[in-house]
């Protein structure tokens, strides 16, 4: 589980990427990002945008993990 409150519009891309990765990797779970209305309507400074790992490959592609499928087939 992960929860975070946005403190500046420039960090939104990094947080969205991070929360998506948290929700699908390891022990998948819920995530929450709180967007205060004043941060959503504040001006964004392009030079301060934090992109994070937005272009990195996902830890696993969305969907069942290959090893889990093989294990389930062996049980059948």
pLDDT in tens, 22-69: 887 777 778 899 999 988 888 888 888 888 777 777 666 667 778 889
At residue 70, the pLDDT reads 92
Kindly report the pTM of this predicted structure.
Answer: 0.61
Domain boundaries defined on the chain: 2-75
* Helix H or strand E encompassing 22: helix 12-24
Q: Which two tokens stand for residue 5?
A: 């409150």
Give the span between the Cα atoms of 3 and 14, in whole angstroms: 14
Q: Which two tokens stand for residue 53?
A: 């790992």
């Amino acid at each position: 589980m992960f929860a975070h409150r946005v403190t500046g519009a420039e960090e939104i891309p990094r947080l969205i990427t991070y929360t998506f990765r948290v929700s699908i990797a390891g022990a998948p779970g819920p995530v929450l990002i709180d967007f205060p209305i004043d941060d959503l309507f504040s001006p964004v400074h392009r030079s301060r945008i934090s992109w994070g790992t937005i272009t990195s490959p996902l830890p696993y592609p969305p969907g069942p993990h290959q090893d889990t499928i093989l294990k389930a087939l062996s049980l059948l």
